[in-house]
Structure 1
């Protein structure tokens, strides 16, 4: 760690690289607690999550986002930036960078500038697991994850942490390395649990109480609305569940209804998105219900909210600083 000259020049900023954060160990339950706390603070009115800003050149070579927010539980203000470069369909040309700049709103001081990829990879499956716990039938025992990318690889460990009563776990994907990663992640976090590899998506979907669509945009298969049985819960994180499942659902949930109107336009039919019945912050604060009846087919849209990045980012940043990771830089 580089010594700080903060006493002479002002407050110092801890810079935490991806390599620094890779040295951290974390408990799934701690991640769930941080994300849940952020949503509850938002429902109470203590937090702020303004709409994101975005810029994109006419040729579509890149897209960038900036998200400002405040987590009222930890009294932390932060800005998250996300920048993706690469023409659509040209994977070899793709580059992605994301950062999180945290400030302590109790003492009025900077905390850290950190790579945001670890936070993003953890808060999304944590939110998915919290949705499942709030919206699934009380007797749900079978869960299916569609997709074996980054989100698909972490979905099942978080789901089991939140819902240990689940008995049958299934993954459906088309990349051998991704499937192997799913199995490895489960062994790391829940070594007593086995994961089935699905060969037929329709059969697996028809068996499932909970279906998580975490596939990428090029996924060749999607769960169809007609495959969802009464009482099932479909959670869309990326792709892998057909849009008609949203429109045919008996009950609809979103992390944020307003954000869904912006980022969920690919789910529209005839230019229309159906109304949302409940939002996750209110579900976790017992202000709304996850379903009306045990027979409802529920569709949930997990688009993420920056306030969860802030809450989890502060937890990880404090842990990294306590371990002496990163470098202190005096900017002021």
Structure 2
């Protein structure tokens, strides 16, 4: 059985190729049971165990095991750990074991960039990153793969962490700078991409300029919010998958439960966009909102690409 560590997975998944692999994965489809989501009491902030299987007819079977421990930052440990196991579809024999956090970070960022290729304005040049973790860093590279960004602003609750992330991105050739005023930065951005574990909204819909694209990545439970109700009222709504977002994404589930909008306001998911059954953005003046919670079809597509690249 092959084993790919974090560096090998990253090297095997450059964003242009990964985004196209995800696009093809959504076009082709796969069997993707709703992920198994378990809460683990820790004595502090509850942890989460996720089990995410997927398989394609005539192809391999994959399953990802992920733990999310929000308090790990105090222990100088990453919040997310996991592994991805790929098995032969005909025999069930394990064929590859891949580093889960790297696979997750890159496919998550690639999914946002894939959505932006349909939903962000073609002339979008300014990106605001809200968050300073691993996913935020990957989002900068992924969005840069689908839009020729001329400015990347980085905001975080910790100004020191925002400055450090901006410095890393600049050293990697991206036009990044830290910002302190979130409202001003959001009002100026063409794309606002949020990757936080916030339980209260950070982005106010009235801040967004006409034609902006709001990309919400961080919240993965019904109790997490990155944008307020005015954002979902104002925007055209899109999700990665209806099954996942309508059950797990707080930015969709919470206002939907309270009657802020109805389920038919969610226009399309990535299956619809990638298969061309929905056109995505149709006006330069629209505000679009994409909410992702992750789906195992992305993991499977990414793992297959990584193994084939090796």
CA deviation string 1:200-256 (max 9, x = no partner): 11111111121111133278x712111012221111001684231443134100001
**Are 1:293 and 2:283 counterparts?**
yes
Q: Does the CA-based 8 Å contact 1:18-1:115 persist in structure 2?
A: yes
Offset of 1:18 from its aligned partner?
Answer: 4.4
Structure 1 segments unaligned to the other structure (5+ residues): 1-12, 323-332
Alignment pair present for 1:33 and 2:20:
yes
Which one of 58, 65, 69 corresponds to residue 81 of structure 1? 65
Higher relative contact order (CA 8 A, sep 6+): 1
- What runs of 5+ residues in structure 2 fail to find an aligned partner? 220-224
Aligned-residue CA RMSD in angstroms?
3.0
Which residue in 2 is equivalent to 1:136? 120
Structure 1 length-normalised TM: 0.78
Question: Once structures 1 and 2 are overlaid, which stretch shifts more, 272-281 or 148-157?
Answer: 272-281
1:156-193 CA-to-partner distances (Å, cap 9, x unmatched) read 111111112x33322212242453234324543xx2x4
- How far has the Cα of 1:14 moved from its partner? 2.8
Measure how far apart 1:199 and its partner are.
2.3
**d(CA) in 1 for partners of 2:147, 2:47:** 39
Separation of aligned partners in 1, 2:241 and 2:125? 27
The equivalent residue for 1:155 is 139
1:135 Cα deviation (Å)?
0.4
2:203 is the alignment partner of 1:215: no
**Which of these residues, 171, 174, 177, is aligned with residue 196 of structure 1?**
177
Moved more, 107-116 or 62-71: 107-116
Structure-2 change in CA distance of 1:153 and 1:175 (3 Å): farther
Superposition map of 1:38-53 within 5 A: 38-42=25-29, 47-53=30-36
Quickly say closer, same or farther: Cα 1:281–1:121, change in 2 above 3 A: same
Matched, 1:113 2:119: no
Dislocated runs of 4+, deviation >6 Å: none
Is the 8 Å Cα contact of residues 4 and 99 (structure 2) preserved in structure 1? yes
Q: Which residue of 2 aligns with 1:228?
A: 208
State the distance in 2 between where 1:90 and 1:142 align: 30
Aligned length: 296
Instruction: Identify if the C-alpha distance between structure 1 residues 83 and 225 changes in structure 2 by more than 3 Å, giving closer, same or farther.
Output: same
Does the alignment pair 1:261 with 2:249?
no
Matched, 1:247 2:232: yes
Q: Residues 282 and 158 from structure 1, CA distance in 2 versus in 1: closer, same or farther, beyond 3 angstroms?
A: same
Residue 102 of structure 1 pairs with residue 86 of structure 2: yes
Does residue 14 of the first structure (1) align with residue 2 of the second (2)? Answer: yes
Give 2:222's aligned residue. Answer: none
Q: Contact conserved, 2:227 with 2:251, CA < 8 A, in 1?
A: no
Q: Give 1:297-312 correspondences, 5 Å limit.
A: 297-312=287-302
Q: CA deviation at 1:152?
A: 1.1
| 1:122 counterpart residue number | 106
